[in-house]
Structure 1
Amino acid sequence: MNLRLSCRPAAPVALLVGVWDPVLPEHLDLFRLLRDDATARGLHPIVATIDPNPGVFVHAPVVWQDYDDLASRLALQEGCGLGGSLLVEMGEADLQSDAAAFLGAVMAVLPLGELWLGRRQSFGSGPAGSLDAILAYADSRGVTVRRLAPSLARFTCRTVRQYLRAGRLRDAIELVRRPPARARPDSGSLPLPWAPGDYLAVPVDGPGGRPAGEPTCLTLSSRDGTPPSVPWPGRADWLAFLAGPADGPAESCEPSRAGARDGRSVHQPG
């Protein structure tokens, strides 16, 4: 496990930990609540992002459907005005970690004062990574735990992955309330673990941002058992994907271009 902190907090940190894929509207509300609540009490608000999703190690990477890549997740957090970010880079061996090891590693890089904890959150498998283990370790180190209200986010995220697997991008966007975006890869070819087929994409100025060019139709394909990928068009820094192969070829590849021409933000396709 490798931890990368984007800042050097002087005050005790209020920390919120998650995978954040996709970043849902309720996640953005939670980031802003953390920002306002922690700052008002003299704490430094930081969101920790686990990458990749531990599910990648349980299932084959080529079939784990991610909606938001790491660049998108961090950019959306930054847009909420947080005090910094903590990136937690996971390896397969870290699945055997526990709450004490995880929180110990976190406290080695930042002054943890308060941990915001989801109702069903765990740090590792088995009893040693359970909620009780988290609470016991936090208490032993003088860290306050703030329990969050119940959420349906994990069920929403699971449904979004099912839609991506089926190529039903418009249905996924309806749940997330903005299209998935990707940053331009150095290689010129973007791996996407989604259903192969035709996708409608448009250049944007960032995740959930404004269109910066004309929509285009891209074909996601796989060769010789390699993960599906799509060629990156032009020099745009970001692409937002608006429709997939199960949304119908006419909708996917012959869209109305009014939204791109008048400069509206891209929140919904069409």
Structure 2
Amino acid sequence: MEDGRNALAGGPGALSVTLPTLTSAQLELAAPDGGSALVMGVFDGVHRGHQTLLGRLREEADARGLAPGVVTLHPHPVTVLRPDITPSYLTSLEDRLRLLRNGGASWVLPLTFTSELSEVTAEELAEGFHRLLNMQVMVLGPDAAFGRGAPADTPERMRRAGEEFGFEVVQIEPLLAGGERCSSTMVRRALGEGDMRAVTDLLGRPYTLSGPVVRGFERGRTIGFPTANISVAADRALPALGVYATRATVAGRELVGATNIGRRPTFDEGHISIETHLLDFEGDIYDERMEIAIVDRVRPERAFSGPEALRAQITEDVGHVRELLS
């Protein structure tokens, strides 16, 4: 696939700036036929703050007959700027793209964040979007800061760039939750505390995890509570260890589940597993893809004296799940 720098630079009418990680194929897929209104960011989680931004993007685009589009950065810039930090994601890239489209974007362009892209200034990005994607309106979030060094005065710089290159700039006010700006960091904090009701409120939907059903040690089966274990990406953010009331979707069925996310200390295991006992279900679903929507926390993880004590606790946990989700 041809590199964007080679495809777009040079020759008559050469652009004064190119976006180094864009390919001509990506542009062909993303670029709207007419003008576009655009937002740019990571958008991890596509939480209610992001949804507010997408709503305003759609309003501005509809008012001008433009196509609303999103440029989403992946991987997270911190992986390049601070390689000693490993970020955890609230959504997979696939889910993020789907949520952005469902939120009102008519096109979404994933832009690979590289060390080369980190050196592009905010003004160069704006000019590139204006020329390559026919951007007529840029909608900014309340804390917009992008381009080399992520300057705090990005909104003012964008307004000056808009005057120079011929596009409008609109900035929205922050969406507050409990007096604090709704952010991906806020969602991760609530998730790390196991406060799934707060997570659901911040996201506007339950938090989900998905992956193929894989074989475990089948210890749950020996105590009367068989489980479906799923394998998720290593970079996915997980809630605090414990037992959760969940709704599972697998093999075309929607089921209620009691999900344990933890290290199974009763059996001295160190790795984190995600295992769900599906209520009132029997069947072979190995290798099927299963999604669990995490509704509420039943209890934190703890060790038990042995299998019998664990079975008694799981019986109680399942009863709580029935009360919560029936």
Q: So what's the TM-score if we normalise by structure 2?
A: 0.61
Distance 1:93 1:227 in 2: 36
Corresponding position: 1:68 with 2:91? yes
Kindly state the Cα deviation for residue 245 of structure 1 after the two structures are TM-superposed.
8.2
Give the Å deviation of 1:110: 1.3
CA contact (8 A) 2:130 2:136 kept: no
Task: State the 1:14 CA deviation.
Answer: 0.5
Equivalent residue number for residue 141 of structure 1:
165
Match runs of 1:170-189 below 5 Å: 170-184=197-211, 189=231
In structure 2, the residue matched to 1:2 is 21
- State TM-score, norm by structure 1: 0.71
Q: CA deviation at 1:160?
A: 1.9
What one-letter code is carried by the residue in structure 1 that aligns with 2:21?
N
1:160 partner letter: V
Q: Which residue in the other structure is 2:102 paired with?
A: 79
1:132 to 142, 146, 156: 156
Query: Among 203, 213, 221, which residue is 2:248 paired with?
Result: 203
Gaps of 5+ in 1: 262-270
Structure-to-structure mapping, 1:5-16, within 5 angstroms: 6-16=29-39
- Using the TM superposition, name which of 176-185 and 36-45 deviates more: 176-185
* Structure with the greater alpha carbon radius of gyration: 2
One-letter amino acid matched to 1:217: T
Question: What residue number does 1:268 align with?
Answer: none
Give me the CA root mean square deviation: 4.0
> Structure 1 126/241 Cα, relative in aligned 2: closer, same or farther at 3 Å?
closer
Q: Which ranges of structure 2 fall in alignment gaps of 5 or more residues?
A: 1-19, 215-229, 265-269, 277-284, 303-312
Q: Which amino acid aligns with 2:257?
A: P
Written as runs of structure 1 = structure 2, the 5 A alignment for 1:1-270 is: 2-3=21-22, 4=26, 6-57=29-80, 58=82, 60-62=84-86, 64-92=87-115, 94-107=117-130, 109-124=132-147, 125=149, 127=151, 130-152=154-176, 155-157=181-183, 158-184=185-211, 189-190=231-232, 191=234, 192-194=236-238, 197-200=241-244, 201-204=246-249, 212-221=254-263, 230=274, 234=286, 235-236=288-289, 238-243=291-296, 254=318, 255-257=320-322
Structure 1 counterpart of 2:293, one-letter code: A
SS in structure 2 at match of 1:136: helix
Change (3 A) 1:46 1:110: same
Contact 2:259 2:274 (C-alpha < 8 Å) held by counterparts: no
CA separation of 1:7 and 1:211: change in aligned 2, threshold 3 A: farther
For 1:256, give the aligned amino acid: V
What percent identity do the matched residue pairs reach? 22
| Residues 169, 243 of structure 1: 8 Å contact kept | yes
Q: How many residues align?
A: 253
> Is the Cα–Cα contact under 8 Å of residues 197 and 244 in structure 1 kept in the other structure?
no
Report the alpha carbon displacement of residue 146 of structure 1 after superposing the two structures with TM. Answer: 1.5
- State the AA in 1 paired with 2:241: G
SS in 2 for 1:103: helix
Q: CA offsets per residue over residues 119-172 of structure 1, 9 Å max, x none?
A: 431212155973333233332221211222244488432222222334444432
**CA distance in 1: counterparts of 2:181 and 2:40, whole angstroms:** 18
Q: Secondary structure at the match of 2:182?
A: helix
- Any conservation in 2 of the 1:119–1:150 contact (CA below 8 Å)? yes
Amino acid at match of 2:134: P
